[in-house]
Structure 1
Amino acid sequence: MADAKKPRMEKRGLMERLNAGEIVIGDGGYVFALEKRGYVKAGPWTPEAAVEFPDAVRQLAREFLRAGSDVMQAFTFYGSDDKLENRGNVSQEKHTGAVVNSAACQIAKEVADEGNALVAGGVSQTPNYLSGSGKEAVQEQFRKQAEVFIKNDVDFLIAEYFEHVEEAVWAVEELKKTGKPVAATLCIGPEGDLHGVSAGDCAVQLAKAGADVVGLNCHFGPVKTLEAIRLMKAAMDKEGLKPFLMTQPLGFKTPDVGKQGFIDLPEFPFGLEPRILTRWDCHKYAREAYEIGVRYIGACCGMEPYHVRAIAEELSPERGCTPAGSQKHGMWGDGLRQHTKPWVRARARRDYWENLKPASGRPDCPVLAKPDGWGVTQGDKDLLQKTEATTDAELQELFQK
C-alpha cells in the first residue's frame, strides 16, 4: 500500500487533473452532517452556519480533507437570496446572501490550502424557479452567487441539486460566463427529471449547454445513481458528447423510492438512520462508479467522512496513495487483529465485511417503505415562494392531503 500521506504537489486545476486521467474525490454531505451536530436547521437547509458557526463548518471540511477529499466545496448549498428569505427564514435579517457565500468560500479556501485541494462554489435550485418567476429572475440569483465566487477566486463552479434540467441549463449558462470550469449535477434518478425529461436527454442538454462535467447528486443512493449515470453516459456517447462524469449519491439505501427520491420517504429527514450505508457499501459504490467511467466520485447527504475515506481507500491502487485518515484505520477490518476478544479478531478479514448483511435491530420495521408520491413539482401552488412563515392553518391544510 502506498504511503498514507498524500504527497504535496503543485496545485493543478480540476480539468488538468481530469484530463490527465486522475480520479477526483469530492467531499460529503454538509447539510445533514451539520444538522445532526446542531448547526443547521432541517427544513430550510440553508448555510448560515458559515457565518454563525464557522468553526463547525471548518472542522467538518478538515475531516473530509483528512478522509481523502480532493475538493472542498464551499458551504453555499441553497445559498441564493430567495432561498435564504423563504418561508420565514430570518437569515437575511442577519446576514446577506453575499456575506454567507463569501464566508463559506473563505473557510473552504483555508482548509483546501492545508491539503492541496480544490475549492468549488456551488449554486442549486431556487424558489424563484419553483414559483415560475422566469429565466431572468432565476439567473439573477445564480449571477449574484457567481459574483461572490469569482471575487473569492474559487477553482471551479458546480450547479448541483436540480430537479428540472431546464433550471440546471440556466445555471450552466450563467456560470459559464465566468470562464471557470463548470460541473452540473441533477438530483434525479433513472426515471429522469420532474418535468418528464429522460435521464439521457437531461445529460445531453447539460453537455450542450457547456458543462465540463455532468452527473448526479443527492436524492438517490448509489445503486439508483449509478443506474442513472449509465443512461446519461449512453445518451451522451450516442451524441458524441464527452464531458467528464460525476456522481455524489446519498449515504442511504433507497431501493423503494419514487421519481422524487428520498424526500418522498416517510422517514425523511429524521428517521433515515436504518438506511445508512456501511463503509463497505461505499467501497462497492466507488469501484462500480470507476468501472462505468466516472472520474469525479464524491458523496452527498448522509455521507460522513468515514464514507469518503472508504471511497479513497477503494481507489487507492489507481490513485497511488491512501488518505491521512487511513493512519487510524485498518483496511477491511485489519485493525481488529489487535482486539482483546477472539471472536472480534476473527472479523479481521475482507470476506467477512463484504458478505455481512447488517441487521437493523428493529423487528417491527418493514424492509421497504411506501413513498408519499404527491407528484407536486414546478408550477404547483404549494411551491409558490413566500417570505412569510408557513401558518398553522396552512399546515392543517397539508395534513389533510
Structure 2
Amino acid sequence: MAAGLLERLRDGVVVGDGGYVMALEKRGFVKAGNWTPEAVVEHPEAVKQLHREFLLAGSDVLQTFTFYSTDDVLRVKNGQAFSCSQLNENACRLTREVAAEGDVLVAGGITLTKAYSQGKGKQEVQAIFRAQLEALKRNKVDFLLVEYYNYVEEIEWAIEEARKSGLAVAASMCIGREGDLADVPPGECAVRMARAGADVVGVNCLFDPVMTLDTIRLMKEALDAEGLRPFLMTQPNGFFSTGMDRYGYLSCPEYPLALESRTVTRFDVHMYARAAYELGVRYMGGCCGFEPYHVRAISEELAKERGKLPPSSAKHEPWGAGISNSSFEFISARANREHWENLVPTTGRPGPASHHFK
C-alpha cells in the first residue's frame, strides 16, 4: 500500500500541485470572478490534462477541483447550474484517474462557505461541510485539504468536521502577516488550527511567496512557543503583491485579468522552495498563478532531498543549462545560475496599452 500523507511528510518533502481555478480560466474553462468548478462536468478532459501536467511536474499530491463547490456558494455564483454533489463526484473521478498514472495522493478539498460570512452559525455551516465531505469520503480520497479560509473560527469548524472522517487533515488559511479578517494574528490562527486537530497547518493563496514565508514564520514561532508540532505547509500565489493590504493580490489593480506582469518566475520559485525548506516547511506547492513549471521548479530545487527529479525535467535543465548550445553566443552566456538568480525581470512596458497602440 502506498504511503499516506503523514508517512510521506515524516520521510521528507511533499510537493503539492498548483492553482486550478486561474490556470483553467486562462485556458478558457472557468469564469473569472466566479471561480466555480463546473469544468469538471463541462470540460473534464481539460481538468484531467491540468492534473496530468502537475503530475509530470513532480506533484506528490493532486487536489480535487472542488473549490467553491458548496451549494450556498454555487447558488450565489452561478445560479446552481450544478450541485455540490455532482461537481465533487466528477472531480474525484477525474483526479483519481490521473493519480493512477503515478505514485501520488488525492487530496479532497473543502472550502469556505457563504453561510459563515452571513452569520448563519456553526450548525448550518458544518452541515454544508458535511455535504462537501460526502462525495470525498465515498470516493476514498487519501486526505482532506481544508483551505482558503479568511476566518480562523470557520476553519476550526471545518477541521472539526473533517476529523470525523478519520483521514489526515491539512489546513491552510488565506491570510498574511496581519492575520484573519477578525484581526486574529497568524500565530494564534496556527495554534487554534493545530488544537482543532489539523495534522498540517499553513497558508495558501492571496499572498506571494515572500509574504507567505513571512506569515508561516510567525505561525511557526507561535506553534513552537506552545509546544505544538504539526507539519507546516505553504501554497502561495504566483503573483508579486508585496505592499498590498490584507487582501493580497486581490487588491492589485491588475486582478484578476491582467496579472501577467506580476508573475513570479521559475527562479523565484527555486528560492522560495529553498527558503521554505530551511524554515521547516515540508508540504509546499502553489495556488492561483502557480503553473506546472512553477511546481517543477520546487521539485527540481529539492531534488536531492526528495531523491528524484520530476518526469518533465527530461525536457528541462535547471538554471538555464539547456541553453548553453544556443546558436547565439549572447544567449549561451546566460546558461548559469548567477545570471538567473540576479536577474530583475522587466515588463518592457514604457506606458499603458492605450499608449502602445495609438
Using structure 1 for the length normalisation, give the TM-score: 0.87
Q: Does the 8 Å contact 2:107/2:143 carry over to 1?
A: yes
Mapped contact 1:194–1:260 kept (Cα < 8 A): no
Q: How far did 1:168 drift?
A: 0.6
Name the structure 2 match of 1:364.
Answer: 351
Asked if 1:16 corresponds to 2:3, the answer is no
Counterpart position of 2:288: 301
Residue aligning to 1:59: 49
Partner AA of 1:212 in structure 2: D
**Could you give the per-residue CA deviations for residues 121-169 of structure 1, whole angstroms, max 9, x where no partner exists?**
0111111111111111111111011111110000000110001111010
What is the SS of the residue equivalent to 1:338? coil
* C-alpha distance in structure 2 between counterparts of 1:256 and 1:364, whole Å: 21
Deviations 1:289-341 (A, max 9, x none): 00000000110000000000000000001111100000000121111012111
Q: Are 1:339 and 2:326 counterparts?
A: yes
Aligned counterparts, 1:176-187, within 5 A: 176-187=163-174
Q: Which residue of 2 aligns with 1:128?
A: 115
Q: Give the secondary structure class of the aligned counterpart of 2:324.
A: helix
Aligned partner letter, 1:115: G
CA distance in 1, matches of 2:349, 2:118: 41
Q: CA deviation at 1:363?
A: 2.3
Larger deviation: 354-363 or 206-215?
Answer: 354-363
Contact 1:206 1:214 in 2 (8 A): yes
SS at structure 2 position matched to 1:205: helix
What is aligned with 1:73? 63
Q: Aligned residue for 2:310?
A: 323
Is the 1:29–1:301 contact (alpha carbons within 8 Å) kept by the matching residues of 2? yes
1:224 counterpart = 2:214: no
Alpha-carbon displacement from aligned partner over 1:30-75 (angstroms, at most 9, x marks no partner): 0000000000011110011011100000000000000000000000
Match for residue 48 of structure 1 among 5, 16, 38: 38
Superposition pairs for residues 1-400 of structure 1, below 5 Å? 11-20=2-11, 22-87=12-77, 89-90=78-79, 92-93=80-81, 95-364=82-351
Q: How far, CA to CA, are the matches of 1:287 and 1:167 in structure 2?
A: 31
Provide the rounded CA distance (Å) in 2 between the counterparts of 1:359 and 1:268: 19
In structure 2, give the amino acid aligned to 1:214: V
Whole-angstrom CA distance in 2 between matches of 1:211 and 1:330: 37
- What is the identity, as a one-letter code, of the residue corresponding to 1:97? C
Match of 2:277, SS state, is helix
**2:48 & 2:204 partners in 1: Cα distance?**
22
Residue number in structure 2 paired with 1:384? none
Displacement of 1:267 in angstroms is 1.3
Aligned mates of 2:105, 2:58 — CA distance in 1? 12
CA RMSD of aligned residues (A): 0.9
How high is the TM-score relative to the length of structure 2? Answer: 0.97
Mean Cα deviation higher: 187-196 or 126-135: 126-135
CA distance in 2, matches of 1:253, 1:136: 38
The aligned amino acid for 1:327 is A
For residues 37 and 341 of structure 1, the distance between their equivalents in structure 2, rounded to whole angstroms, comes to: 33
1:366-400 deviation line (CA, Å, top 9, x unaligned): xxxxxxxxxxxxxxxxxxxxxxxxxxxxxxxxxxx
Cα distance in structure 1, aligned partners of 2:159 and 2:169: 7
Q: Number of paired residues?
A: 352
Q: Identity over the aligned pairs, expressed in percent?
A: 57
Q: Could you list the runs of 5+ residues in structure 2 that have no partner in the other structure?
A: 353-358
Q: What is the DSSP-based 3-state SS (H/G/I as helix, E as strand, rest coil) of the residue aligned with 1:72?
A: strand
Q: Distance in 2 between the 1:265 and 1:331 partners?
A: 31
Q: Unaligned 5+ residue runs, structure 1?
A: 1-9, 366-401
Q: Whole-Å Cα distance in 1 between the matches of residues 292 and 49 of structure 2? A: 11
Matched-pair contact (CA < 8 Å) for 2:240–2:249: no
- Structure 2 Cα separation of the partners of residues 201 and 207 of structure 1: 10
Partner letter of residue 83 of structure 2? T
- Where 1:85 maps in the other structure, the secondary structure is helix
Inter-partner Cα distance in structure 2 for 1:23 and 1:113: 21
Taking CA–CA contacts closer than 8 Å with sequence separation of 6 or more, which of the two structures ends up with the larger relative contact order?
Answer: 1
Question: How much has 1:271 moved relative to structure 2?
Answer: 1.5
Instruction: Indicate conservation of the 8 Å contact 1:337/1:345, yes or no.
Output: yes
